[in-house]
Structure 1
Amino acid sequence: MKTILYLALLAPLLLWSQSIDQNYVLSRNYKQASATIIPNPSIQQAATSITYFDGLGRAIQQVSVDQSAEGKSIVVPMEYDVYGRMAIEYLPYASELGGGNYRPDALTEVLGYADYNGEPPYSEKLLESSPLNRVLKQSAPGESWAMGSGHEIRLDYQANSGSDNIIRYTASATWNAAHSIYDVSLSQGSYATGDLYKTVTKDENWTSGKNNTSEEYKDKEGRVVLKRTYNDSDPHDTYYVYDQFGNLSYVIPPESSSPTV
């Protein structure tokens, strides 16, 4: 009985024509309720997706079987650089080849896909040359937003300095036995230079100065303590305050004269 059951479960998988010489995971999202297993569901009964993997266990292609409006399979190719990083992420395209087969020419097909009109059908990341793999620039699909267009998102990684003028808020939770709750008090101080990790993000419309930039500050435990945005070079700060247990106790929005719990 066990052998028969296993064969029964494997049989419907073969009907989707996925490539048998590739590692893959097949998943189905059923659209209709059924008291029994549907061995070979139609696209009206279930959405079937197949993800193919290389020998290192990395996803290299995803196929949504026959799920476009015209009944074509939707393919998302994936690519890695020489360091094994996914620096380019491609848009999906509708393949002329139906079914769930692996497309060995998927990268060529997506670059030549007619609906993209020759525009770059991918976003791209410029990563720093370190094991941290932090993003230095990030582009979006399309010629106007491509890498080298001048409209990339730029990121810079720094440490805080005295000129950042950051308030160090500290929350202290004290048990109130009479009311069976914690009373939380708030105090202020300052950060020493280098106490915080600072990430500066310049958006696609940045040209110079502080406009179209944002800053995020994290403490050495990785918690966000401040998000700062700019409007006409004027800073707008949102503070995040934690108690001694690491709980987020206050969020202080811009221009607020008193904290909001």
Structure 2
Amino acid sequence: MKNIMILGLLFTATVGYAQSTSENYIQSGTCLNGDCSKKTEIITYFDGLGRAKQIVNVKATATGKDLVTPVVYDGAGRQTKDILPVPVSSLNAAIHTGIVNENSANSYYGVANAYAEKEIENSPLDRILQQAQPGDDWKMGAGHTVKYRYEVNESSEVKKFLTTTTTNTVGTVTNTESSVPFVAGNIFYDAGTLYKNTVTDEDGTPVTQFQNGRGQVVLIRRSDGIQNTDTYYVYNEYGQQAFAIPPKAVQQIEQNNNTVTQNILNELCYQYRYDGQGRQVEKRLPGKDDWEFIVYDAADRPVLTQDPNLKSQGLWMLTKYDSFGRIAYTGLLAGGSRAGMQAQIGNQVVSEAQIATGFNKNGLMVYYTNAFFSNFQRFLPFTIMTFIQEIPRNFPLLKSLTSM
């Protein structure tokens, strides 16, 4: 019976529109209501090479017209123009044979370039050199294009912050601790060792990104034509981001004879530490009085987090998950050090299941189990609102696979 119903639905969908049967196409639809009486239909027609050549949004306008977007390619098979869609009288999903390039769009919008255009370099890399937007003021040659430049760094162009990383072990729990030398220095990356990619926007403002051989960003440089604004990203010996140094910190380091002090790090920089599995377990944000801590379960999900305020109270924010990995509920838990809490749950998967009986905490009934950290103190306020809105008292339990 199910097969007959499915075939019937397919037959109805087929006869509802008159797709061009002489063309290769893919039809997709999205139901806008429960019975699918309102829906969107998109037909993509393909050429003999399997490339899209026309996209038809069937009766997509308020007046029931098709929105037709032609797709064109250059001699190397690259799509260098993204043409704006044109509203035309509907052909019930059939291909519009008269719309094959930008001419119809140019005529409808009254401009010479009703399309975004890319200038691509003549190399196997196919990198974009220049990009223009629709409209006469933004077309190629009008002086308002986005420009891309690909180079390598020069000597004395990018500072190189060296780190020293130690590993601290408490029982079975480890974490890295990286530092930079607190001595005067002015070390730079050697010429040609970094990728230098510059994007200049329509107003002529450049943003330059420097990447190392691993693809990691080590510097983002913005310029107003007078001075540079630099943000450095520093990685430890294991390739993990240990520091982010914002522009104000860079300025103070330069004014301090290129010496990085602990005060500059604590007040102006972002600092990160990791465990033996490469997970970020500690971080310190600019101006914070202390570190923030993260504890993971065996499924690599953050279960406990602690900021300086919670640390002063001896509390952790507890996050529990359901069997699908979604957050079930959150609360506050009394606990000790990060190493101690990590050793406690590092080999467990903190997952709670839906049950009909539930449990009561602070006058709130929650229809989940409470197997892990059952002695947590209370729910967080936003958790209560989540339960009131999303979890009815008598929700239907999921059927087991054996009963289906």
Shorter chain as denominator, the TM-score bin is 0.7 to 0.9
8 A contact 2:149–2:197 mirrored in 1: yes
Change (3 A) 1:157 1:63: same
| Structure with the higher helix share, 1 or 2 | 2
Change (3 A) 1:244 1:151: same
TM superposition shift of 1:56: 1.9
Change (3 A) 1:5 1:46: closer
CA deviations over 1:151-205 (Å, ceiling 9, x no partner): 2111111100114233345584735335935233143753111111101222222
Question: Equivalent residue for 2:270?
Answer: 260
CA deviations over 1:85-142 (Å, ceiling 9, x no partner): 11111112212234312122222322221xx122411111111110001111111111
Matched residue pairs, number?
246
The one-letter code of the counterpart of 2:14 is L
Note if 1:129 corresponds to 2:129.
no
Gaps of 5+ in 2: 182-186, 250-263, 272-404
Question: Equivalent residue for 1:209?
Answer: none
Change (3 A) 1:57 1:73: same
Query: For the residues of structure 1 that align with 2:92 and 2:241, how far apart are their CA atoms?
Result: 49
Change (3 A) 1:3 1:251: same
Across the aligned residues of Structure 1 and Structure 2, the Cα RMSD in angstroms comes to 2.5
Gaps of 5+ in 1: 35-40, 207-211
Question: Equivalent residue for 1:38?
Answer: none
**TM-score where L is the length of structure 1:** 0.83
2:52 pairs with 51, 59, 80, which one?
A: 59
Note if 1:89 corresponds to 2:94.
no
SS at match of 1:167: coil
Report the more deviating stretch, 64-73 or 81-90.
64-73
Any residues of structure 2 matched to 1:5-154 within 5 Å, and which? 5-6=6-7, 8-34=9-35, 41-42=36-37, 45-106=38-99, 107=101, 108-113=103-108, 116-154=109-147
Question: Equivalent residue for 1:37?
Answer: none
Question: Equivalent residue for 2:351?
Answer: none
SS at match of 2:29: strand
The one-letter code of the counterpart of 1:32 is N
The one-letter code of the counterpart of 2:198 is V
Change (3 A) 1:66 1:182: same
* Higher RCO, Cα 8 Å, sep 6+: 1
**TM-score where L is the length of structure 2:** 0.55
CA deviations over 1:35-56 (Å, ceiling 9, x no partner): xxxxxx54xx211111122222
TM superposition shift of 1:217: 1.0
The one-letter code of the counterpart of 2:104 is E
Change (3 A) 1:99 1:190: same
Identity of aligned residues (%): 32
Change (3 A) 1:245 1:25: farther
The one-letter code of the counterpart of 2:47 is D
| Structure with the higher strand share, 1 or 2 | 1
Any residues of structure 2 matched to 1:97-246 within 5 Å, and which? 97-106=90-99, 107=101, 108-113=103-108, 116-168=109-161, 170=163, 172=165, 174-177=167-170, 180-187=173-180, 190-206=188-204, 212-246=205-239
8 A contact 2:155–2:188 mirrored in 1: no
Change (3 A) 1:4 1:179: closer
8 A contact 1:202–1:213 mirrored in 2: yes
Query: For the residues of structure 2 that align with 1:64 and 1:143, how far apart are their CA atoms?
Result: 26
